[in-house]
Amino acid sequence: MSYKYKRLDKNDAAVLLVDHQTGLLSLVRDIEPDKFRNNVRALGDLAKFFKLPTILTTSFETGPNGPLIPELKAQFPDAPYIARPGNINAWDNEDFVKAVKATGKKQLIIAGVVTEVCVAFPVLSAIEEGFEVFVVTDASGTFDDLARHSSWLRMSAAGAQLMTWFAVACELHRDWRNDIEGLAKLCSDHLSDYANLIVSHTALTKGK
């Protein structure tokens, strides 16, 4: 059977941000803290740039997991926000599943903490229900490389596509000519090397 390339479609995608909580972020050791928070913000920014329905959820906020990080609250003040009282798998929460299905989208872009639990469990559950799932690897974090790669293998074996936020942005955008300045700003805001590239390009083109 030949391979079928299933691309992200900005008209059929929603973003699920799962358990990016202050307490859980202290467990993330497979990526540097500053880089990780930048990647999470980048995913949030691309969700807003492409006008993707976005759902926030947390687990057991009153316990050690802590509240949602303030950056996401600020980015999405009006997004559906599901504070799960205890469900470890977000898909076990009826309100969360209802919010996901209410978007009407069949492609789910998912990131969260920690990767092998808070991300993997709803990813597997969503795939079982027929959704196409795209995991944003660099906006998801866990204890170490072993935990990360074990969960990546499990999710990819089930059919999830593993991507970085930059790849997600580019696949959604399709063509630079759709909005050169918009995509350039998104990338420059979160990739310092890309910002340098844009500054250099601007200087060269303005000098002509």
pLDDT at 90: 98
Does residue 69 have a pLDDT over 80?
A: yes
pLDDT at 72: 96
Q: Are 66 and 24 in contact (CB under 8 A)?
A: yes
Arithmetic mean of pLDDT, 100-119: 98
Task: Give the distance, in angstroms, between the CA of residue 63 and the centroid of all CA atoms in the same chain.
Answer: 24
Quick one: the chain helix, strand, coil %, rounded to 5?
50, 15, 30
pLDDT at 208: 55
Arithmetic mean of pLDDT, 152-170: 98
Does residue 205 have a pLDDT over 90?
A: no
Place of tokens 């509240």: 67
Residues with active-site annotation: 118
pLDDT band at residue 192 using 50, 70 and 90 as cut-offs: confident
Q: How far is 141 from 34, CA to CA, in rounded Å?
A: 12
Q: Are 124 and 29 in contact (CB under 8 A)?
A: no
